[in-house]
Amino acid sequence: MADRYYVVREDILPEAIQKTILVKELLASGSAATVHEAVERAGLSRSAFYKYKDGVYALNEMNQERIVTVSMDLAHRAGVLSSVLGLIAAQGGNVLTMNQSIPLQGYANVVLSVDVSQVAGDASELAELLRREPGVRKAAIIGRG
């Protein structure tokens, strides 16, 4: 079964969920140095925090974590991969993983996982910029999430 998400108004959430969000905020802001300190301040048990922490996100937190998978065929020439990585960085993207095949017939397939949370615009715009880069035969977004 695929993950399903809902937008729910905070005031109708159970108290344990609200406190879990508070604990995550305390930790993210640095207001609490440890989980122990944060759950004490929020009045939540550690077990409840660990039960809910991976399933509860503030809406802005979900929007910030955008990862796409980009597949490209790159010419087997010095500097092509470097220029592609530079373009991604210049657009605000952050490469998380990279897999490259051995070049065949002058091209290598490169698959990147890219955090695009800081990229202005849609990830498809980034793919279009990549397609225009010299040495890039094809570039496509093949996955999100």
Helix/strand/coil for 66: coil
The reply to whether 70 and 139 lie within a common domain is yes
DSSP-derived letter for residue 121 is: S
Domain count, the chain: 2
Copy the structure tokens of residue 109.
């397939």
54-113 pLDDT, tens digit each: 888 776 555 445 888 999 999 999 999 999 999 999 999 999 999 999 999 999 999 999
Same domain for 102 and 135, yes or no, is yes
131 and 87 in a common domain: yes
Distance from C-alpha of 129 to C-alpha of 123, rounded to nearest angstrom: 10
Same domain assignment for residues 34 and 76 = no
pLDDT for the residue 10? 86
Domain boundary (63, 81, 106) is at 63
Which residues have C-beta within 8 Å of that of residue 26, sequence separation ≥ 6? 32, 37, 38, 41, 42
**Residue 74 backbone dihedrals phi, psi, to 5 degrees:** -115, 140
Residue 1 lies in a domain: no
Examine the domain organization and report whether 71 and 123 are in the same domain: yes
Domain that holds residue 77: 65-144
Residues 110 and 95 in one domain: yes
Contacts of 33 (CB under 8 A, 6+ apart): none
H/E stretch holding 25 = helix 15-29
Clarify whether residues 34 and 75 are in a common domain. Answer: no
Q: Are residues 81 and 25 in the same domain?
A: no
Other beta carbons within 10 Å of 135: 17
pLDDT tens-digit readout, 27-54:
888 898 899 999 999 999 999 999 998 8
